[in-house]
Chains A and B, each alone.
Chain A
Amino acid sequence: MSDQLFSLHSWPRAIAHIDGDAFFTSCEEAIHPELKGKALITGGERGIVACASYPAKKLGIKRGVPLHEARRICPGLIILPSDYETYSLFSRRMFCIMQRFTPDVEEYSIDEAFADITGMRRALRSSYEEIVVKMKKEIETELGITVSVGLSITKVLAKAASKHQKPAGITIIRGRDIADYLRNLPVEKVWGIGNATTNYLAKMGIHFALEFAQLPEKKVRDKFTKPGVEIWQELRGESVYPVTTEEKSSYASISKTKTFVPPTSNAEYLFAHLMRNIESACIKARRYSLAPNRIGIFLKKNNFNTVGNEAKLSRPCAFPLEISGIIHDLFASCYCLKDIYRSTGVVLLDLEPDTNIQYSLFDDPIKAEKIKELYNVADELGKKFGKHALHLGSSHPIDKLGKGRRGTPTIREQTQLKGETQRRHLGLPLLHVKP
């Protein structure tokens, strides 16, 4: 029987998922109204499309497409550098508006959030459907962007719902209607099901979410690991993933990457980028009082192939000055003079709290303590004068040679209002119209 009822009750929980439609380009359209309805993309500084507006998407320009390719498809394409400052302002406002309706808002990414509105019907004197309609309307009128909304009884279903109708859609999946929506939903579109699981499911003859959800429990528990079982439960309407409101306070790993244009094979410049990556990652680690046990680096070639290597540290350490030697060795093991590279990156792995770190036999504790103090000062200077105010000589070529960005800086970066500094801008989005 295909009309299976997974949940007898329509709303055991009510979870909304809100997803900005082509978020970066929508933000640009909101502050540059003359761009509305045009084929436009952001990501100009990266050399690949970061976000494409709907008219651009229609022409086949998708995220990740190289710029020259995008220009070939659409000669009149408007290419903008990413203005993350404005995008985060819009993002914060979107979450703020959602919090008017419920305190349980999970900021999932810059353009997506979950809101648990279970039990808010009486307080807001509206049905769950009315609540999400109102939430959507307030975001759209106040911010001038459109969002797609999904409402269902678990996070996985809510996310599937918001994808169902895009852009500017509202999709509501009640407990009773789950099967109808899952029937035509390919498994690979389900949140949390990646490539490997999709192929594995295909081996079992499962191609649609409904077939997966209908598997008997025993089989699921035998054949899948815990995440698989959880997705199966969520698809069946049993909420196992809570909407978590806390800000992230711990990380399993921290990574920092930077793409630069034009691509280069200049070893000094590449190493400078790598050191800057390490400095950025370590600043973040120190902010959360963490230190890594292992460090990985990678270099991405112009043909998008990646080479990388990793090393274990003798003790957890988040001070670039101490790590630089290791990074140098790792870099030497990956770098090849005849290759051209487009980005560098580092990953700090096996993070642990930086309190009570045991020095090993071969460490020089006095020197290490001095370096620690040095970085306390560096962090203070960073707060006052901007990140990387005090940096290593090996990362200095970046400041000297430029960060290697393509095209013009964003309009926001070019505009400085009286009293603003390069680093500190007014916390409101700037409209760019000339009345």
Chain B
Amino acid sequence: MKKRMTINIVEQKFASFFREQRRMPTYSEMLPLLGIKAKSAAEYWIKKLLDKGTLEKDAKGFLKPAHLSFNLPLVGNVAAGFPSPAEEELRDTISFDEYLINNSTASFVLSVTGDSMIDEGIKEKDLVIVERGREPKNGDIILAEVDGNWTMKYFYKKGKKITLEAANPKYPPIIPKEELQIAGVITAVVRKYHK
């Protein structure tokens, strides 16, 4: 028997596609994804999701998940009464490991020393996840060796000029003179309060 489509099931299918592919499906990919034959049916569901606020259209009219729709580990919406275990089963959960770590073979842990990123909320003894081999973007926090010293700073690049800025007014921005060796990009911060 054909399973009845509900908006929740459609949402989960989009979410799992997005988690795997990290992009939205095209209309032709929606057909096998939703098990439908006509693109107009896809259109129908898209409209429902747009109305519900799960999806949004960007400036160019491309579909994108609305703010944080698919990124957090989803557990079934707890309805009043007994939650259906089946629904929980359908929704995919991710572990904190997966949530915090993007590339597990390239990620290292660093225990923070110093207060240069204090205004970013990174304190001494916090653990940061450093991902090696990732190209830093403007505003990323990077771990780097500058002229022989190790430092953790915001990374800014304008043209060819690279500036490293602290999140603490005590420290002036650094412009690497001799050498800049980027060890990795900080992808997450972890602070644990209790054992």
Q: Which of A143, A419, A433 contacts B106 (CB 8 A)?
A: A143
B42 to nearest A CB, angstroms?
A: 30
B195 touches A33 (CB 8 A): no
List of B residues within 8 angstroms of A124 by Cβ: none
A143 touches B105 (CB 8 A): yes
A93 touches B105 (CB 8 A): yes
Taken together as a complex, chains A and B put the C-alpha atoms of A206 and B151 apart, in Å, by: 58
B109 touches A418 (CB 8 A): no
The 8 closest A-B pairs by CB, nearest first: A142-B106, A141-B133, A435-B152, A93-B105, A433-B150, A431-B110, A428-B109, A435-B150
B105 touches A431 (CB 8 A): no
A415 at the interface (CB under 8 A from B): yes
Query: Which of A141, A428, A429: most chain B CB closer than 10 A?
Result: A428
Interface residues of B in 143-195 (CB under 8 A from A): 143, 145, 150-152, 183, 192, 195
9 A-B contacts, Cβ less than 8 Å apart?
A33-B150, A142-B132, A426-B109, A428-B108, A428-B129, A430-B109, A430-B110, A434-B113, A435-B151
B133 touches A142 (CB 8 A): yes
* Residues A418 and B195 in contact in the complex (CB < 8 Å), given A143-B105, A431-B183, A433-B183: yes
B110 touches A144 (CB 8 A): no
Query: Which of B104, B111, B130, B145: most chain A CB closer than 10 A?
Result: B111
Taken together as a complex, chains A and B put the C-alpha atoms of A27 and B169 apart, in Å, by: 36
B20 to nearest A CB, angstroms?
A: 16
A96 touches B105 (CB 8 A): yes
B34 at the interface (CB under 8 A from A): no
B132 touches A428 (CB 8 A): no
Chain A positions within 8 Å of B, measured between CB atoms, are 31, 33, 93, 96-97, 138, 141-144, 415, 417-419, 426, 428-431, 433-435
List of B residues within 8 angstroms of A144 by Cβ: 132, 183
* Residues A141 and B111 in contact in the complex (CB < 8 Å), given A93-B105, A419-B192: no
Residue of B nearest to A94 (CB): B105
B113 touches A435 (CB 8 A): yes
List of A residues within 8 angstroms of B132 by Cβ: 141-144
A142 touches B103 (CB 8 A): yes
List of A residues within 8 angstroms of B139 by Cβ: none
List of B residues within 8 angstroms of A138 by Cβ: 133
* Residues A435 and B108 in contact in the complex (CB < 8 Å), given A142-B133, A143-B132, A417-B127: no
Q: Which of A419, A428, A434 contacts B195 (CB 8 A)?
A: A419
Per-position 1/0 for B87-119, Cβ under 8 A of A: 000000000000001011111111111101000
* Residues A431 and B192 in contact in the complex (CB < 8 Å), given A33-B183, A143-B132: no
